[in-house]
Amino acid sequence: MDGMIQLDDMDCEFKEEILSRVPGANLDLCFTCGTCTGGCPASEQFGMDPRKFLRMLLLGMDDEVKQSPWAWVCTMCARCKTVCPMEIDIPKMIYNVRGSWPREKRPKGILGSCDQHIRTGNAMGVPSEDFAWTVEDVAEEIRNEHPGFENLQASVDRVGAVMALNQNSREPVTEPDEMGPLLKILHIAGVDWTYPTVMWGGENYCMFLADDEGWRYITEEFVYHIEHNLGCKVVINTE
């Protein structure tokens, strides 16, 4: 019909790019039921929601999709995919939208935390020796001030421990007392565990930045240290 836009005539380059990276994305199966939007904590932020995002992508609105800051408020919780009757993988699409941004133009907070983690092993830039000191200081306070925990131990880089435990890097810097409850639980449960000093930060902001190389580097360095240097068999990721 004259004057009407035909879908076959629309330029959907970014859609095809995403499909090449996410073969199981099932983009064309969406029937706009809105279930994804109903459970999304980021709905209506910047005037966007998962359903609207997907429709714009399908209609070839590449520039609008790639330039919208909404991609950065998505929590990547995957509720949208979990409840979608067609199992459309919206989180992976969001990840690819983030990756389409020039790295230097991505949110400074996430970018800085990613780079800090790559350089120092944690998003807060804490030297390993300071982290080790904080761990022992918290353990000593528990031993001295909490009855029943006089024998509590918290080690760092202890070779042969069964379990390696990483740590949200903000707590040792701003809220070291928040580390205490977990140390108590591990003690009561009789867990044989240790903290590593290599890539010990549990939060990996490079993942949220859509920086594949940084994400991979942090993970590989962490895994190598706990497997080859410490010999741990199990990892607890606190994040």
- Residue 11 belongs to a domain: yes
> What mean pLDDT do residues 142-155 have?
96
Q: Write out the E strands in the chain.
A: 163-165, 193-194, 234-236
- Based on the fold, state whether residues 150 and 214 are members of the same structural domain: yes
Within-domain flag for 200: yes
Strand partners, 164: 194, 235
CB atoms within 10 A of CB 227: 13
CA dist., res. 31 & res. 54, Å (int): 11
Among 175, 194, 186, 178, CA closest to 151: 186
In terms of domains, do 164 and 202 share one? Answer: yes
Please indicate, yes or no, whether residues 92 and 144 belong to a single structural domain of this protein: no
Q: Strands 234-236 and 163-165, how do they pair?
A: parallel
In a domain, 109, yes or no: no
CA distance 182 to 129: 21
Range of the domain at 62: 7-101
* Total of domains in the chain: 2
- Residue 75 belongs to a domain with what CATH number? 1.10.1060.10
Check whether residue 90 and residue 171 sit in a common domain. Answer: no
User: Is 29 buried (19+), middle (13-18) or exposed (0-12) by CB count in 10 A?
Assistant: exposed
- Residue 107 in any domain: the answer is no
Name the residue among 134, 136, 101 with its Cα closest to residue 208. Answer: 101
Q: From CA 115, how far away is CA 134, in angstroms rounded?
A: 23
The packing angle between helices 108-120 and 212-224, to 10°, is: 30
In the structure, what pLDDT confidence band is assigned to residue 162 with cuts at 50, 70 and 90? very high
**Is 155 inside a domain boundary?**
yes
DSSP-assigned beta bridge partners for residue 23:
none
Give residue-wise pLDDT tens across range 96-144: 899 999 999 999 999 999 999 999 999 999 999 999 999 999 999 999 9
111 lies in some domain: no
Q: Do 51 and 143 have their domain in common?
A: no
Could you tell me which residues are beta bridge partners of residue 235?
164
Does residue 21 form part of some domain?
A: yes
Encode pLDDT of 172-200 as tens digits: 999 999 999 999 999 999 999 999 999 99
* Alpha-carbon span 48 to 52, nearest angstrom: 6
Q: How far is CA 177 from the centre of its chain?
A: 24
134 and 97 in one domain? no
Tell whether 133 and 224 lie within a shared domain.
yes
Residue 47 tokens read as: 């005037």
Question: Helix 13-21 and helix 90-100: axis angle, to 10°?
Answer: 110
Paired residues of 201 in beta bridges: 167
- At 6 the pLDDT is 39
Average pLDDT over the chain, rounded to an integer? 88
Residues 35 and 135 in one domain: no
Distance CA 194, CA 87 (A): 39
User: Are residues 56 and 139 both part of a single domain?
Assistant: no
Residue 1, in any domain of the structure: no
Are 97 and 167 found together in one domain?
A: no
What's the pTM? Answer: 0.81
Is residue 132 domain-shared with residue 61, that is, in the same domain? no
231 with 135, same domain: the answer is yes
